[in-house]
Structure formats: structure tokens, C-alpha cells
A and B are shown apart, each in its own frame.
Chain A
Amino acid sequence: MVEQSKVIVDKCVLIGASLNHDCLCMPEKIVDPHYLTSKRLLDYLKLNAIKKEGMILKITSDTTKVKLGNIMERNLYKLNKIHNLDSKTILDEHTFAMVKSTSVLSEYINSLEVLDIKDGKIYQIRKEVSEFHRSVPIILKKNNPKTEIKRRISKARGIFRKFERRWTKEDFENDFRILKKLFKKFRGHPLDKEDTEILAYATYLKRETHKEYNIWIASTDHHFSNVIIDGGLSSIIPNKIEQRFQVKCDWPEKVLGELLRNNQVIDTNDTKNI
């Protein structure tokens, strides 16, 4: 049976797909690291706009533009430090990049269905999501046996000290280091209002209006998707979100893969050529 899907696109994917500019006066490219994968997903959603698979929150449209401005300003600051170019050249270059990026961004935004839910149930779900995200650091800590191992090592006496090496090896092999770093990442960059909204809306769709659909959040943000830290991959956050809210979160390329597999409409090769 083919499962139908709906995808809520996060702002990082929208920016990723829009930001790609070859500078004329500098060797650098103004490009997002997730450009290709984000572009493939959004091109697919644009091409299949009639299916209404892609969605966006009303708030995302504006915040994406603010974030794009911030990225460009940071880039301007960085490149200005590296190259000794005159102000006009560097500002023109960035203006060009902005004109280009915002045009592409607007096209993508226009191809997505805008979600604006007025139902009172959303407030309850929002509360639930906030509670969940407050509990994430605790989940991470609980799942990280490093503290436990350390305690065991410190308490071990005499003959048990020989287990120290085994416990440390176990810690290393299971990539428990990632959880510690992810925990720090969550504390350093807690969930913002928009992230809460995205998950709340996705949950609302799953529970109320699109029960039979697979609801996806396409994001490269560590609040939703898998993260790679020090070469290790952690899926703990998307797994917990799916367990709790039945919403699937993943990187854009994985979401695209699922859409193509489920729909079985567009030839994969064609999409690669988009």
C-alpha cells in the first residue's frame, strides 16, 4: 500500500536551497552546505505542487528572510576581513547574491501550502511540545551512560578496577560521546518559538486532519533531525519525536527518498537531474 505524505519544510532547508552564488570579485562562493540536497527536495515539491505535499508555516516565510539577511551580513563581515576590496564591489556582490537568493526563495515559498491553524487544540499541543523539549536534556542525560560509567569507575575498588578499560571501551564504541555533545548543543541553542510551532503544527496534522498520512518535518536542525558530531550519528531526537508525536523528522535528502519511494511516480533519475 502506498502511504501518502505531507512535508513541513523548515527554514534551514529553504535557505539551503536558495543560497548559492558564485562571486565575480572573490574566489569564494556564497553557498549553504546543504544546498544540493535542500534544492532537490524543494524542486521536487515545486514540480509536484499540485499534489500539495509540501507545507510551510506562515511564520517561516518571514523568519527565513530575516535569517537570510543575517547570513548575508555575517558573510559580508567575514569576506571583508579576508579580501581588501572596495566597499562598492563587495556590497554590489552581496546585493546580487541577495536579489538572486530572495527570488529563488520566493518561488519555493509560493509553491508550498501555507499552514495557518486557528483551532484551539493547537495551544494544548504547543504546551506538550514545549514540555517535551524541556525534557530533551534529561532524556539525553539518561541515555548517556558515561556518567554512570564514570561513577562506576570511581566507586570500583581493587579487583573491579580491571573493568575500567572495558567500560571506557564500551563508552567509545557506542558513541556515547555524541550524547554529551548533543546535550551541550541543546543547552547552548535551546528551541526557539518557531521550532515549537513547526512540531506543534505537524502533530496537529497527524492527530486531527491528516491521520492517515505520514507527516514529515524536513530539517537539518539538531532540534529535529539526526546530527553528526565528531563523525558519529545520533538519531535519538527524531526517534523520540516519532515515539511521542508520530511525526517523522529527517534531512531533506531522506525525506525526498521517502516521497519518491511512496509515490512511485517520478523516475529517480529525472529528479537527480532537476
Chain B
Amino acid sequence: MIEEIKLLQEEFELMEKEKEVNLMNSLPLIQNIALKLKNIRNDLLNSDKPKEEIFRIYYPSMVASIVLQNMKDRLSEAKIMHDNPIIALNSLNVIPSLKVISDYLEKGETRTDFVRLTTNLQNSAISNDLFKINQERLKEGDNVLRSIVSDIKSIE
């Protein structure tokens, strides 16, 4: 996963340099990382580990997924919304925290400061406008995710 994030970082650096959004390479990379995160969560849900221990991995992985979903949505609409190169710059700001989280998740060792790591990513994403979820997309999702969004919006 960390390799894909590094590649994604290079893609964003290129986008920023060329002032042009490249969906061909970036979207599959994002999808790939999100899929890996989902697999981590599914493996945990099928394991017989205590829920408190699973939570230490599950929660950071969910937050990382929300951030990736936001990246994907903004990239897809970047041309219409004239969001380039801002989306590239915003994503580049968030990637260091995303790297830390993915490193933590890949190692699979639970840490007591998982909340701090995740909050760093979450805060970085909020300040870079990458922690909102498209309401339309959420209609397909589950209730809990829908409530996450409405509540986060009310916090902002």
C-alpha cells in the first residue's frame, strides 16, 4: 500500500507541475489503495480478535478510506469545478499523514496512540477540504456513513 501511495504522490507532483489533472493513472491508484484498506477491514471482521483490538485498525482504515473517497471525487470533478491544481496541492498536503497511517495498518501492530495518528490525518484532510462525502454517493452507502457526513457537516 505504501508503494501505491508513493506513486500517487508522484502523480500529484506531476499534476501540480503540469497544471493538468491526470485521471488515467491517479484514479486506479486511489481505488487500489481503497481496496487494500477494505480488505484489511474485512480480514479483521472475519477474525476472532477482540473488538477493542480490531477497532485500533478499523477506525484509522475507515478515516483513510473517507479521505481517499474525497480525493477521488474531487479529482473526477476537477476539470468541471476548476479545482486544478488545488486538488493536487491539497492531496500532497495530506499524503504524509496518509503514509503514516498506511504504514501503521500494514504492520498490523496495534498502538495506543492510534487516535493521535488518525486525528492527524483527519485534521489535515479537513483543513485541505478532503473530509466531506458526496451526499449523492452516500445514498448507495450504509446508514452509518451517511450519518458521519451529516454530522461532520454540522460540526464544520
Residue contact B115 to A66, C-beta cutoff 8 Å: yes
Residue contact B152 to A66, C-beta cutoff 8 Å: no
Chain A residues near B62: list those with CB within 8 A: 92, 95, 99
Chain A residues near B54: list those with CB within 8 A: 87, 91
CB distance from B94 to the nearest CB of A (A): 15
- 1/0 per residue, CB under 8 A from A, across B114-138: the answer is 1110110011001000000000000
- 1/0 per residue, CB under 8 A from B, across A82-118: the answer is 0000011111111110111011111100000000000
Q: Is A62 an interface residue (CB 8 A)?
A: yes
Cα–Cα, bound, A233→B107 (Å): 49
Q: Is A49 an interface residue (CB 8 A)?
A: no
Residue contact B152 to A99, C-beta cutoff 8 Å: yes
Residue contact B115 to A69, C-beta cutoff 8 Å: yes
Stretch at the interface among A72-80, A142-150, A199-207: A72-80
Q: Which of B50, B56, B116, B144 meets A92, CB within 8 Å?
A: B144
Q: Is A274 an interface residue (CB 8 A)?
A: no
Residue contact B155 to A103, C-beta cutoff 8 Å: yes
Chain B residues 97-156 with CB under 8 Å of chain A are 112-116, 118-119, 122-123, 126, 142-145, 147-148, 151-152, 155
Interface of B (DSSP majority class): helix
Question: Residue of B at shortest CB range from A62?
Answer: B116
- 1/0 per residue, CB under 8 A from A, across B59-80: the answer is 1001100100000000000000
Residue contact A90 to B51, C-beta cutoff 8 Å: yes
Chain B residues near A107: list those with CB within 8 A: 155
Cα–Cα, bound, A73→B118 (Å): 15
Residue contact B116 to A73, C-beta cutoff 8 Å: no
CB distance from A103 to the nearest CB of B (A): 5
Chain A residues 1-31 with CB under 8 Å of chain B are 24-25
CB distance from A81 to the nearest CB of B (A): 10
Q: Is B12 an interface residue (CB 8 A)?
A: no
Chain B residues 41-61 with CB under 8 Å of chain A are 45, 50-52, 54-56, 58-59
Residue contact B122 to A91, C-beta cutoff 8 Å: no
Residue contact A88 to B45, C-beta cutoff 8 Å: yes
Cα–Cα, bound, A72→B152 (Å): 19
How many residues of chain A get a CB closer than 8 Å to chain B's CBs?
A: 33
Cα–Cα, bound, A66→B147 (Å): 25
CB distance from B156 to the nearest CB of A (A): 8
CB distance from A56 to the nearest CB of B (A): 15
Question: Residue of A at shortest CB range from B113?
Answer: A66
CB distance from B54 to the nearest CB of A (A): 6
Chain B residues near A24: list those with CB within 8 A: 143-144, 147
Cα–Cα, bound, A221→B93 (Å): 38
Question: Residue of B at shortest CB range from A99?
Answer: B148
Q: Is A240 an interface residue (CB 8 A)?
A: no
Question: Residue of A at shortest CB range from B142?
Answer: A92
Q: Is A65 an interface residue (CB 8 A)?
A: yes
Binding site for A on B (CB under 8 A): 45, 50-52, 54-56, 58-59, 62-63, 66, 112-116, 118-119, 122-123, 126, 142-145, 147-148, 151-152, 155
Q: List 28 A-B contacts (CB under 8 A).
A: A24-B144, A25-B144, A62-B113, A65-B113, A65-B115, A65-B116, A66-B115, A68-B115, A69-B56, A73-B56, A76-B51, A76-B55, A77-B51, A91-B45, A91-B54, A91-B55, A95-B58, A95-B63, A95-B144, A95-B148, A96-B148, A96-B151, A99-B151, A100-B148, A100-B152, A102-B119, A102-B122, A103-B152
Binding site for B on A (CB under 8 A): 24-25, 62, 65-66, 68-70, 72-74, 76-77, 80, 87-96, 98-100, 102-107
Which 3 pairs between the two chains have the least Cβ-Cβ distance? A69-B115, A73-B52, A92-B144
